[in-house]
Structure formats: C-alpha cells, structure tokens
Amino acid sequence: MTVKSVMTHNPFTVGPQSPITDAQALMKREKIHRLPVLDTAKRLIGIVSEKDLLYASPSPATTLNVYEMHSLLAKLKVESVMTRKLITVTSDTLVEDAARALVDNNIGGLPVVDSGTLVGIVTESDLFRLLIDLFGTRTKGVRATLRVPERPGELADTTRVIAEAGGNVISIGTFSGNDVTNSVMILKVENIERDRLIAILEPLVVEVMDVREV
C-alpha cells in the first residue's frame, strides 16, 4: 500500500507572510496540527506545526495583557517559526517507509510531493487509522498472540488449520524482534470459538501467549 491511499489530498496551506495568528485560527477551525507553507509560486518551502506556534507564543508568566499578546503575535509571520529543512515523501512511497520516516525523525507529518508539487500530507493519525483497519479492530472476533517457530510454511500451516475448522482469518501479522529462532504472530479470526481456536493452534506453536474475544 502506498501513501496515496492514506494521505490527505489537497491539504490546507499557508504562505510565509501569513500572521501566525491566522495559522493558529486555521488549525483550530479545521482541527489539524500542521500546515505546509507555500510561496507565491506554490512551491513547498516549509511546514509549521502547533508546537512551532506554541514556542512562538509569550510565556504564561508574561505581564502582557490579552490585547498586547494578540498584537504581538499578529506581527509575527509564519516564515519566522516554520521548519525549513523538510523531509518529504511521494504519493508512491510505501506506507511502512513513511511510518519509518516519521519515527526516525520524531515528527508527526510528512508533506507529499510529486514532481515538485505538493499533492497531500500524511500524518501519524493517518497511519494509526490504517493500523486499526489492518488489525480488523472494527470487526468482532477472536484475537490470538502466538510465539511460533521461525520456519518456512508456518504461516500457511496456521491459516490452513483455521480454515479447516471453519474459521476465517480477518487479519494477521508477524514480527521477529531479537529472537532468531521464533517470531510472534498476531491474528484475528471470526466464525470460531476461543477454546476451539486454542485447541487447534497449540500443536503448531511454541506458545499461546494470549487469546481473547474482542
């Protein structure tokens, strides 16, 4: 799956000369947390986040009154607080690569740029929504966490016995971590009872770590 499938298309933007009060108001109205910054030629030159605007605001200990604070903030422009060193992706970037870029760089959103043109933005919230769908959390079933041997055919054997018992796998995923001999498999199944699922999986796995109806 690529970023194009999960990104926000044609996101709200601001210009570098926009007052930061306008950026704050736009974020609040649209319930968003960051805005790409475009110059007059519609080229992406930065991104401004709620955190950037927070750092630009006067300290709560300030002696300025509300009018004075608003007047001060209105004079500050987006270009004075925006992030200029950008990390971007394209609409064809794999979602897992976008997720890694967010984590590795400790950021919450990535502008999506195709051929020099901003076409969207992908955020941690977009990827969390995808994770919810991938794990089938909106569908009732039985969720199992298993420690399984790291061997060819383990995934096929697991899904086969579930199908033979009349179950339907809604979602499945594995990860190895630091264990080179075993991996952890998380799956969600419908049309099968919890105890029945445990009974058919126990002979195949190293450990049934957790099984619950969700």
Q: The CATH number of the domain where 81 resides is what?
A: 3.10.580.10
- Minimal CA–CA distance to 168: which of 142, 148, 150? 142
Dist. CA 2–CA 110, nearest whole Å: 14
Left if phi > 0, otherwise alpha if psi is -120 to 50, otherwise beta: which for 115? Answer: left
Q: In terms of pLDDT, which residue wins out, 57 or 83?
A: 83
* Mean pLDDT for all residues in the chain: 92
For residue 108, the enclosing domain spans: 3-131
CA angle at 103 for the pair 99 and 106, rounded to the nearest 5°: 135
Domain match, 182 and 103 both: no
Is residue 7 located within the same domain as residue 51? yes
Whether the per-residue pLDDT at 58 is higher than 90: the answer is: no
- Mark whether 119 and 140 lie in a shared domain: no
Query: In this structure, what CATH number is given to the domain that contains residue 175?
Result: 3.30.70.260
What pLDDT was estimated at residue 61?
A: 45
Task: Supply the pLDDT for residue 67.
Answer: 60
Are 46 and 106 part of one and the same domain?
yes
Q: DSSP class of residue 99?
A: H
Angle among Cα 17, 22, 25 to the nearest 5 degrees reads 155
pLDDT of 95 reads 97
pLDDT band at 44 (very low <50, low <70, confident <90, very high): very high
141 and 199 in a single domain? The answer is yes
Angstrom distances, CA of residue 79 to CA of 15, 24, 199: 8, 14, 62
Whole-prediction pTM? 0.79
Interstrand relation of 182-190 and 168-175 (parallel, antiparallel or unpaired): antiparallel
Check whether residue 95 and residue 160 sit in a common domain.
Answer: no
Query: Is residue 20 domain-shared with residue 125, that is, in the same domain?
Result: yes
Q: Is the same domain home to 63 and 82?
A: yes
pLDDT computed for residue 55 by the predictor: 78
Tell whether the model's pLDDT for residue 176 goes beyond 90.
Answer: no
Phi and psi (nearest 5°) for 179?
-90, 115
Q: Are residues 201 and 114 in the same domain?
A: no
Asked if residue 91 and residue 37 are part of one domain, the reply reads yes
Task: Express each pLDDT in 151-173 by its tens digit.
Answer: 999 999 999 999 999 999 999 99
Domain boundary among 131, 163, 197: 131
Averaged pLDDT, 60-84: 73
Domain end point (choices 116, 131, 146): 131
From 80, 110, 131, give the residue that closes a domain: 131
Alpha-carbon 117 to chain mean position: 22
Q: Indicate the number of domains in the chain.
A: 2
Q: Which tokens sit at 100?
A: 């890694």
